[in-house]
């Protein structure tokens, strides 16, 4: 009974965006080892950034990840502000907070939809993406674009939130909250999802600390960290909100953390729009002295870390970028091993790997002969849900 | 814990092993160390003081290769960066810290690949980002690798 | 060929390939499939294998690791097949043209039928891109 088979997953998947390549080593149904090959998306952004001026590098980092195109520019701007000790006007801080939380809403919604698809709940997928649209509309109102907002600059923001837009934003947020409540009920009260997700892919607290896991992945494992509270930036220290932490560490806990976080985000946006002071939105900084700076930010997936070294010229000498998935990803070694293949797809998706990859999962035998495709793997996952549904006589 | 207490705690324990302390603000400090002491100091900061490992950034400083190990203290919001300067550009090597925290697994692979730094004791230094046919001995993040063109219109 | 193209223009099966993009294009593409834009109304379906596809929809700046895979996928596409390039990176490599890891533009790797410019293009733009492709297929059909 030591017949091991390798399942290559990737690098391309129709529903997930970024390509990545996994190799699951399985023994029967059980996953015994995992390996991953990334690099299908490596574009050398850190090197390009060294040849751009500080203002231009914000546009580069915005294009690191389409989902986090507000987080990376803020982190980069904060790193530069840390070098030069620039003051950012208060109104700009509030606008940054609004953008950050809108981004969290749209990112978590997107994740929820894709997780639903993996489990065979295509209705959840369609709903979640439909309910994400109000957020895109708000983004379009606030920043002028649905994605790639070009909103942030060093020392402030580029665009103001107009007074006449605020009623519209609040109205769309109301719509969104109503739908979110419904979705929350649909997910949290479903006995099938409880059975399917509880106890699956557990990341223990010790492992989470050892791997320095971040964001919802860490908070679902009982680690109480949140950059928004621990390293206060933007306007988070002027607003009341809660950090959501759960102890279980399984896929269900990660889902719950994300859903509850969305309610916090809505509340943060409302408070920001309410409290936002009048005033300038940009401090127009000029020279950037030599030195080193660090910018940290809580992106939807966890802490986003930018280190910039300046040599006094108008472009960075070194710009190191660490996205949250970089730390969360290696935890799949702890969570996937020992689980069945039909759970692998959702466990890999549970860390929200900046949505990378699971296309063309092929089950191959020892001689690399292809037996099974990616759809098979998602199908396995969906069939397992269907079996549980049958048991509950729901389908 | 304030930043002064953290710096005092580390410098009392390691004394002459800390070459230089640069406190850039109330939240940030950069400590220069010898590359050979990295595991000892990193173990103390990560295991005993309860810091979280952020990442390591390699910097090509023309005359040396620097590695900055960033550690965060989540309860007080302080980031401490350990700077190890590797003078030997031809054959740079340093001890691995994956024995202390597995979160350094990928970043060491990346530094090996983009800067050509060897990590003693790390057996998994397979390529992570670059294609398999990337020429050996060419490290794109070093300054002697051709820099991308600067935009002339500015 | 005429009959095949006649059938083809009614319902395009699309395979989506991300060759090193920032996700934005890919998100907007999936947005097209979901209720607000819903391209399935026009018979456009995303499929999971290139062997079932009529259209290869490619996003991203073609990174060196991805180029051999793109070539392989293009070879595997059943003919007649069409290529759509979506987004600024795919069309011109955009911001990433100076990077050490972007090899060659997508249109040097394979012939491209329709470009959809933008960073990222709006979902409406992709619907328009498909319309252009269908027009192109129809004009070919008549030419024969």
Residue A115 has pLDDT above 80, yes or no: yes
Write down all domains in chain B, each with its CATH number in brackets.
3-89 (3.30.460.80)
Which residues, 6+ apart, have CB-to-CB distance to A255 below 8 Å? A112, A115, A187, A197, A350
Looking at the fold, whether A29 and A56 belong to one and the same domain comes out as no
Task: Output the domain CATH number for residue A26.
Answer: 3.30.390
Counted domains in chain A:
2
Tell me the pLDDT tens digit for each residue of B73-101.
888 889 999 999 998 888 888 999 888 88
Of C63, C65, C98, nearest to B148 by CB-CB distance is C98
Could you tell me which CATH class the domain C2-139 is placed in?
alpha beta
Q: Does the beta carbon of B99 lie under 8 angstroms from any beta carbon of chain A? A: no
- Asked if C35's CB is within 8 angstroms of A147's CB, the reply is no
- Give yes or no for a cis peptide into C80 (omega within 30° of 0): yes
CB contacts < 8 Å between A and B, how many?
A: 99
Averaged pLDDT, C23-51: 85
- Tell me: pLDDT of C125 over 70: yes
**Is A60 in the same domain as A189?**
yes
Q: Note whether A335 and A294 are same-domain residues.
A: no
Q: What is the structure's pLDDT at B50?
A: 87
| Mean pLDDT of the region C44-52 | 83
Question: Nearest CB to B148: which of C63, C64, C99?
Answer: C99
Residues A223 and A119 reside in one and the same domain: yes
- Residue A361: left (phi > 0), alpha (psi -120 to 50), or beta? beta
Same domain, A126 and A31: no
- Name chain B contacts of A225, Cβ cutoff 8 Å: 52, 74
- Reported as a single tens digit per residue, the pLDDT across A223-270 is 888 988 888 888 898 899 999 999 888 888 988 999 999 999 999 999
Q: What's the confidence (pLDDT) of residue B151?
A: 58
Domain boundaries, chain C: 2-139
Give A281 or A368, the one with higher predicted confidence: A281
- Interchain CB distance below 8 Å, C101 and B130: yes
Residues A376, A240: contact at Cβ < 8 Å? no
For residue A49, what pLDDT is reported? 85
Cα–chain-centroid distance for residue B9? Answer: 21
Residues A290 and A365 in one domain: no
Q: How many CB atoms lie within 10 A of CB B133?
A: 8
- Using the 3D structure, point to which of A279, A302, A327 is the last residue of a domain: A327
* A192 shares a domain with A61: yes
Q: What is the pLDDT of residue A10?
A: 62
How far, in Å, are B12, B19, B31, B37, B42 from residue B15 at the CA level? 5, 9, 12, 12, 15
Cis peptide before C39 (omega within 30 of 0): no
Last residue of a domain, one of A327, A344, A375: A327
Find the mean pLDDT for residues A33-43.
76
Q: Is C99 on the interface with B (CB under 8 A)?
A: yes
Same domain, A55 and A178: yes
Residue A2 has pLDDT above 70, yes or no: no
For residues A147 and A220, state if they share a domain. Answer: yes
pLDDT tens, position by position, A63-92: 888 788 888 899 999 999 989 888 899 999
pLDDT above 70: residue A359: no
> Which of A301, A327, A353 delimits the end of a domain?
A327
Average pLDDT, chain A: 82
3-state secondary structure chain A: CCCEEEEEECCCCCCCCECCEEEEEEECCEEEEEEEECCCCCCCHHHHHHCCCHHHHHHHHHCCCCCCCCHHHHHHHHHHHHHHCCCCCHHHHHHHHHHHHHHHHHHHHHHHHHHHHHCCCHHHHHHHHHHHHHHHHHHHHHHCCCCCCCCEECCEECCCCCHHHHHHHHHHHHHHHHHHHHHHHHHHCCHHHHHHHCCCCCCCHHHHHHCCCCHHHHHCCCCCCCHHHHCCCCCHHHCCCCCCCCCCCCHHHHHHHHHHHHHHHHHHHHHHHHHCCCCCCECCCCCCCCEEEEEEEEECCEEEEEEEEECCCCCCCEEEEECHHHHHHHHHHHHHCCCEHHHHHHHHHHCCCCCECCCCCCEECCCCCEEECHHHHHHHHHHHHHHHHHHCCCC
Kindly list the residues from chain A whose CB atom is less than 8 angstroms away from the CB atom of residue C24. Answer: 63, 66, 69, 147-148
Report the percentage of chain B scoring pLDDT > 90: 12
Chain A's closest residue to C34, CA to CA, is: A126
pLDDT of residue A365: 32
Are the beta carbons of B114 and B140 closer than 8 angstroms?
yes
A225 in the same domain as A363: no
- φ, ψ of residue A155 to 5 degrees: the values are 90, 10
pLDDT at position A16 is 52
Give the pLDDT score at A358: 28
Domain that holds residue A26: 4-40+328-391
Max mean pLDDT range (A274-283, A337-346, B134-143): A274-283
Q: What is the ipTM of this complex?
A: 0.92
Mean predicted lDDT score pLDDT of chain C:
84
* Mean pLDDT along residues B115-134: 84
Nearest residue of A to residue C17, measured between CA atoms: A12
Both A356 and A255 in one domain: the answer is no
Between A178 and A332, the higher pLDDT residue: A178
The alpha carbon dihedral of A253, A254, A257, A258 has a sign of: negative
Residues of A with CB under 8 A from a CB of C: 11-15, 17-19, 39-45, 47-48, 51, 59-60, 63-67, 69, 110, 113, 125-126, 129-130, 133, 136, 146-148, 354-355, 359-360, 373-375
Do residue A75 and residue A207 come from a single domain? yes
Q: What is the pLDDT of residue A268?
A: 93
- Residue to substitute from C63, C65, C102, interface B, most B β-carbons within 10 A: C65
- Residue A372, pLDDT score: 47
B60 three-state secondary structure: strand
Decide if B127 touches C, using CB distance below 8 A. no
CA atoms within 13 Å, Cβ hemisphere of A67: 28
Q: Distance (Å) from the C-alpha of residue C95 to the closest C-alpha of chain A?
A: 7
Indicate whether B67 pLDDT > 80: yes
Q: Which of B75, B103, C100 is nearest to A224 (CA)?
A: B75
pLDDT value of residue A170: 92
Give the distance from residue A328's alpha carbon to the nearest chain C alpha carbon, in angstroms. Answer: 19
């Amino acid at each position: 009974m030591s017949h091991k088979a390798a399942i290559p997953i990737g690098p391309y998947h129709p529903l997930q965006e970024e390509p990545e390549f996994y190799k699951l080593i399985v023994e029967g149904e059980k996953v015994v080892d995992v390996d991953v090959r990334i690099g299908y998306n490596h574009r050398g952004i850190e090197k390009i950034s060294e040849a751009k001026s500080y203002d231009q590098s914000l546009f580069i980092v915005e294009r690191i990840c389409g989902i986090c195109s507000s987080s990376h520019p803020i982190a980069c701007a904060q790193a530069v502000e840390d070098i030069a000790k620039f003051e950012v006007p208060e109104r700009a801080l509030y606008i940054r907070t609004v953008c950050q939380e809108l981004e969290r809403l749209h990112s978590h919604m997107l994740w929820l939809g894709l997780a639903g698809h993996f489990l065979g709940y295509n209705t959840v997928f369609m709903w979640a993406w439909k309910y994400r649209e109000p957020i895109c509309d708000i983004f379009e109102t606030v920043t002028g674009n649905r994605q790639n907002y070009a909103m942030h600059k060093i020392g402030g923001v580029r665009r103001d939130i107009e007074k006449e837009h605020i009623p519209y934003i609040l109205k769309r947020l109301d719509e969104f909250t109503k739908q979110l409540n419904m979705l929350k009920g649909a997910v949290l009260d479903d006995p099938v999802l409880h059975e399917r997700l509880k106890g699956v892919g557990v990341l223990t607290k010790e492992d989470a600390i050892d791997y320095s896991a971040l964001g919802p992945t860490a908070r679902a494992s009982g680690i109480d960290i949140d950059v928004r509270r621990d390293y206060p930036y933007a306007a988070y220290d002027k607003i009341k909100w809660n950090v959501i932490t759960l102890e279980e560490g399984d896929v269900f806990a990660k889902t719950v953390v994300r859903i509850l976080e969305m309610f916090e985000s809505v509340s943060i946006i409302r408070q920001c729009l309410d409290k936002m002071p009048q005033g300038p939105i940009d401090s127009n900084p000029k020279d950037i002295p030599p030195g080193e700076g660090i910018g940290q930010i809580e992106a939807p997936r966890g802490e986003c870390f930018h280190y910039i070294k300046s040599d006094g010229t108008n472009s960075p000498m070194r710009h190191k970028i660490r996205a949250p998935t970089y730390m969360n990803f290696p935890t799949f070694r702890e969570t996937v091993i020992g689980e069945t293949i039909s759970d692998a797809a959702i466990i890999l998706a549970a860390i929200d790997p900046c949505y990378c990859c699971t296309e063309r999962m092929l089950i191959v035998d020892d001689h690399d002969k292809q037996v099974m495709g990616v759809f098979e793997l998602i199908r396995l996952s969906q069939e397992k849900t269907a079996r549980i549904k049958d048991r509950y006589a729901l389908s | 814990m304030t930043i002064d207490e953290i710096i005092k705690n580390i410098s009392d324990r390691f004394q002459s092993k800390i070459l230089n302390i640069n406190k850039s603000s109330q939240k940030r400090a950069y400590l220069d160390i010898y590359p050979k002491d990295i595991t000892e100091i990193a173990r103390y900061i990560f295991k005993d003081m309860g810091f979280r490992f952020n990442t390591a950034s390699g910097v090509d400083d023309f005359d040396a290769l620097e590695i900055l190990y960033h550690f965060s203290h989540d309860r007080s919001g302080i980031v401490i960066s350990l700077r190890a300067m590797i003078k030997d550009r031809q054959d740079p090597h340093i001890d691995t810290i994956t024995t202390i925290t597995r979160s350094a697994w990928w970043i060491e692979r990346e530094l090996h690949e983009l800067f050509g730094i060897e990590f003693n004791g790390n057996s998994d230094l397979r390529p992570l980002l670059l294609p398999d046919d990337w020429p050996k001995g060419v490290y794109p993040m070093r300054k002697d690798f051709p820099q991308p063109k600067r935009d002339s219109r500015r | 060929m005429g009959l095949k193209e006649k059938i083809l223009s009614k319902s395009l099966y699309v395979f989506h390939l991300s060759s090193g993009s920032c996700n934005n294009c890919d998100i907007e593409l999936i947005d097209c499939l979901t209720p607000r834009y819903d391209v399935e109304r026009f018979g456009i379906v995303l499929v999971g294998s290139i062997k079932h596809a009529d259209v290869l929809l490619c996003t991203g700046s073609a990174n060196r690791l991805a180029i051999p895979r793109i070539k392989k996928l293009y070879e595997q596409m059943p003919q007649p097949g069409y290529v759509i390039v979506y987004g600024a990176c795919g069309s011109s490599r955009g911001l990433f043209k100076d990077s050490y890891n972007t090899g060659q533009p997508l249109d040097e790797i394979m012939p491209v039928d329709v470009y959809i410019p933008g960073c990222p293009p709006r979902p409406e733009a992709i619907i328009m891109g498909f319309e252009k492709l269908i027009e192109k297929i129809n004009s070919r059909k008549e030419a024969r």
